[in-house]
Structure formats: C-alpha cells, structure tokens
Structure 1
Amino acid sequence: MTQNHATPDHDTLPDSARRVAQWLTEAGHDRPVVMLPATGKTSAEAAAGLGCQVAQIAKSIIFRRAADDVPVLVIASGINRVDEKKVAAKVGALAKADARFVKEKTGYSIGGVSPIGHLSAPVMLIDEDLLKLESLWAAAGHPHAVFNLTPAQLLSMTGAPVADVALRD
C-alpha cells in the first residue's frame, strides 16, 4: 500500500482537525491525524490518497431527524450507499441536512465530518459492513484530514449501535 500522506504536528493542523486530534489524544488513541495532499471529500479520493480500498473509508453521512432536528450520523463503508428507509426505520423520519445544519450541529464542514467530537451529540448508526474490515480511515474534521482506526475502536469511541444501513440491489 502506498502511503502518500504526512503526519503533522497538532499545532499545524486546521482548527477543526486539531479538535479531532486533541479528542483522540485524550481518548488514548494510538494513531495520529494525517493530512492528505489532495482532498478526501469523497471516499474514492480519500482511498486513492491513502492507498487503501474504498470500503475501508468510514464515511460520515449526516441527516436531520424530521421530528426534532436532531442530527443523525450514519458511519458507512465508502463503497455503500446509505438506504435512508433503513435508517429512518431505526431512528425516525429523516430530512436532508444542508451545509449550514451540518456545520452548526457537528462543528465540521461537509467532506470532513468526523465520527467523533461533535458540537451536539448526534443519534448514530454504524454500517455493519465496516466490522468485516481490519482497518478503517475516518475523516478528522477537515476534507484533507483523516485518522486510522479499527472497527472495534470505532465502536468504542462512538458507542453507536451497528445496523444494516446499506442500499442493496
């Protein structure tokens, strides 16, 4: 695997990525936030920059729960499309979350939403397909920032339930 990324000092990270790095340090996570030379806004871009499979990208998709405007975070494998009907069956009716809502509720911009360190606690679900992998990469608060973790670490960090959230043909 080609690793085309740099491990920066916490002080040189963008503010939102620094917040994730600090959270990870305080949680005792043993892997640093790394900066991709090109954007990791899409799963394919992130995988190309990391030299990993698209499936290993743990993408964070934010929805808005229609009943109470609570953010709903689905952490899905980069190769899966999220089935909104499956998610809604677990958490309630969903509405689209625009860029302002995502930034206001999570503290992150779309393309860099981390599974941790949100400004307001989201309702969360983790794609069961992520548990089949040994290593994952998740956004670290910025479109160029990511961090490596295992599925067990993702479960531990988020406390989120595992669910079938993938759109299946």
Structure 2
Amino acid sequence: MTEAGRRMGARERFLAGAEEAGMAPEILRFPEGTRTAEQAAAAVGCELGQIVKSLVFLCDGDAVLALTSGANRVDTKRLGELLGGTISRADADGVREATGYAIGGTPPFGHARQMRAVVDPALLAFETVWAAAGTPDTVFELAPDELVRASGAEVGDFAAG
C-alpha cells in the first residue's frame, strides 16, 4: 500500500477502490455492526445468501480472496483444487496486510495488494448482493455481475456441501 493509502481511512480507501472500478456505491452504515453475514442480512433486511463474505485465505502462502455467499461455508479442499494449491486461513494481520482492511469490513475489491479472487456461484442467483464497504459497520449493494467485474474474480464452486 502506498503511503497516501495508509494515511486514508478505510471509507476513503474503499471509495477510491470503487471509483477505480467505475462504481459510485451508496454506503449504508449500521452502528450496531455488520461484521458477520447474519448481522449484515438483519441490518439490510435481505436473505443471508445475498451477503458477500470477503474471506482471505493463503494458497501455498499467497493471499487469495474467496467471495462467498453468506449462506455458505468455504470447503478449503475444494478451494485448493480450484486454485491449484494448499489452502490455509489467513490470520487477522495477514488479512489486513493483503487487503488494507480489518476482518468484518473487507470489501470485495480495492485492496492493498492484487489477489487472485474467486466468487461463489450461489451469489449469481440474486438480483443484488450486499458487501462490506471497508468497515465492520458499513455495507453497499451491487449486482452480482458488478461483483465479478470489479473484483476480477473467476466463478468457481468451492462451497462446502
């Protein structure tokens, strides 16, 4: 991350990433928090499956991003097969280093480092989905095709099942 990026707050970094992706999302803030998929779905009044969980894993030591439906869990074996490596979960410091954001507020794009990303096909079944907007109490709405485009993700089935 650049020095200027480090000086910016999470909201500003998110908005800069959104602008770079050609988006101008409306950010909704919920003081009670949207850290978990369940909290986010309750806050915005949508189905749990419409929540995008931006989860950072390590694939043979390299950070990767799994954009998962809030109703699903990641099968790390399937994710490893999809990405061609061994998967382990990134710790909180690793998530912040790779993305520039804290766990619970990680958006699906605009990260500190370029990462390979995959998106859960279950998210494509919805007209709109909701994702974190840089902090654990903010979210924004977008269409699944915008999610795929803005994140540069490939679609792949890696949900536990």
- Normalised by the length of structure 1, the TM-score is 0.86
Identity percentage over the alignment? 39
Equivalent-residue separation in structure 2 for 1:120 and 1:28 (angstroms): 19
- The number of equivalent residue pairs is 153
Equivalent-residue separation in structure 2 for 1:76 and 1:132 (angstroms): 13
Q: For structure 2, which runs of at least 5 residues remain unmatched after alignment?
A: 1-7
What residue is the counterpart of 1:3 in the other structure?
A: none
Equivalent-residue separation in structure 2 for 1:22 and 1:36 (angstroms): 21
**What is the CA-CA distance between 1:30 and the residue it aligns to?**
4.2
**1:31-89 deviation digits (Å, cap 9, x = unpaired):** 322212211111000011111111110111111122xx211110010000111111000
Does the alignment pair 1:21 with 2:5? Answer: no
Equivalent-residue separation in structure 1 for 2:89 and 2:70 (angstroms): 20
What residue is the counterpart of 2:79 in the other structure?
A: 87
Root-mean-square deviation (CA, aligned residues, Å) is: 1.4
- Structure 2 counterpart of 1:129, from 122, 127, 137: 122
List aligned pairs for 1:1-169, cutoff 5 A: 15-66=9-60, 69-91=61-83, 92-168=85-161
Equivalent-residue separation in structure 2 for 1:44 and 1:38 (angstroms): 12
Q: For structure 1, which runs of at least 5 residues remain unmatched after alignment?
A: 1-13
Equivalent-residue separation in structure 1 for 2:21 and 2:102 (angstroms): 23
Q: Which amino acid in 2 is paired with 1:142?
A: T
Q: Which amino acid in 2 is paired with 1:59?
A: K
**What is the CA-CA distance between 1:25 and the residue it aligns to?**
3.0
Q: Which moved more, 1:24-33 or 1:150-159?
A: 24-33
Equivalent-residue separation in structure 2 for 1:35 and 1:70 (angstroms): 32
Structure 1 residues 26, 73: closer, same or farther in 2, change over 3 A? closer
**What is the CA-CA distance between 1:149 and the residue it aligns to?**
0.3
